[in-house]
Structure 1
């Protein structure tokens, strides 16, 4: 009997060892896969930063490290040699993207709440139109927009860039927030109504605080979409309203037929910084478990 018990215990221990090895191997594969994906995604940005700090004479140096480091490329990117004003373009992009994000959230939050919470005729048709608008190609409306804004003398103005951006960002905002509001438990709002809150007070005091992670996430997506927009800005902007995407694309070298690769990479590094800072600032709010805390 003891021999059988020892054999069973040995088999159980062996099975546990195999299970642990399989678990470690599965965990290792997960980490390796994640590392490969991260390296694949970050490698172009790393090469951009390396080239941004590299001396012009070593632009095509294949060494994947910081060699021949210089800060002159950043000074060149902001100088008048490039044929534009990157500092003003940065301010233009911040203003246009900020206004676009705020307006899209103001309308998107209420529209998403109505689509998720209220029952009315044509609800799914509206949601389908919103989804279709988010996938509509921008190149199809460039010419009509140019003709329209030319007729009303809006070409080269801020509103000519903000309004088209809102039309592209708003469907994304509505669709993203609608999915979140649908998953939010009705009991929270009903409890607020029982406690004496009106519909508006329940929305303002209960729904919006709980929706903060989704709102911040949507705001970041909307800001990035507006910040990276190039097609509309390249047609409707002027020297005074030029965005960073157009400014970098129109960089000109100090010599004819010379492409300022290092200056372009330096400008690209500068343009990427606000997006990285934005994500880092709102990182905690995005991952915060506000809904779980409210349920408790």
Structure 2
């Protein structure tokens, strides 16, 4: 099973270093011969992949930061404060998180058009925050619920307010839940395609998924360049998961057994 999962990624990276002649060979070669970086150079110089990469970084980081700030406050309130209607609220959040993007793409497009947000960063950041916020609240709420309430009481005894308690007492303890919500939100924003395709038609604001999809010409498909761009697009996600793997696993495990 592991080989089946890894095989497409290996083939993607392997093909990105092959020449066009080597890519079309049959039977296919296992390793690139000769080895070339021309597809990576072409992706950045001819197809403007650097602009797509920058746009994806800006949109994903800003949206993830906003989601984490709002989700931290909302999940703390739901998990720790005496608020009425918590159960219906959580069900409502769950219903929102299951809403398909295609169901709201038309009204969202009209809204973006009327307020002049088409071909801009905010046209993606705002929907990304709205669609990823429910999941982040669910993950962080289950983790906050497992933190001893004595920490809140001790903070109140020392004169700390709610905001001080959240950001200086609870969040440092809830780091795994924070990283879990952040990683999943970043990956969702980084790989999103439909909103990025519809809301931003200008090359100046295209993100990586849309940019790679438009690499193909009318008569040619630059497979090597597509695989090169895909390899560069996957690298940030791989690095992010490898760095925060321990915290993500801890956050998901805590949410599973302490819900």
Q: Which runs of 5+ in 1 are unaligned?
A: 1-35, 290-296
Judge which range, 98-107 or 186-195, deviates more.
Answer: 186-195
Change in CA separation of 1:160 and 1:189 when aligned onto 2, cut-off 3 Å: same
SS across alignment from 1:78: helix
Determine the structure 1 residue equivalent to 2:254: none
- Give 1:184 shift: 1.8
Paired residue for 2:35, among 60, 69, 74? Answer: 69
Instruction: Note the 1:221-260 alignment, pairs <5 A.
Output: 221-237=184-200, 238-253=202-217, 256-260=218-222
List structure 1 segments (4+ residues) > 6 angstroms apart after TM superposition. Answer: none
> Alpha-carbon deviation of 1:63?
2.8
Tell which deviates more after alignment, 136-145 or 151-160: 151-160
**How far does residue 285 in structure 1 lie from its aligned partner after superposition?**
4.8
Deviations 1:94-143 (A, max 9, x none): 00001100111110111011111122222111111111111100011111
TM-align CA RMSD: 2.1
Is 1:78 equivalent to 2:40 in the alignment? no
C-alpha distance in 1 between matches for 2:153 and 2:106: 49
1:41 equivalenced with 2:16 (yes/no): no
Distance 1:196 1:132 in 2: 38
Q: Report the TM-score when normalising by structure 2.
A: 0.89
User: 2:158 aligned with 1:179, yes or no?
Assistant: no
Give me the whole-angstrom Cα distance separating, in 2, the residues matched to 1:162 and 1:184.
Answer: 31
Equivalent residues, number:
249
How many Å separate the matches in 2 of 1:172 and 1:60? Answer: 43
| Among 235, 241, 254, the residue aligned to 1:273 | 235
Structure number with greater Rg is 1
Listed as ranges, the gaps of 5+ residues in structure 2 are: 252-259
- Name the structure 2 match of 1:116: 79
TM-score by length of structure 1 reads 0.78
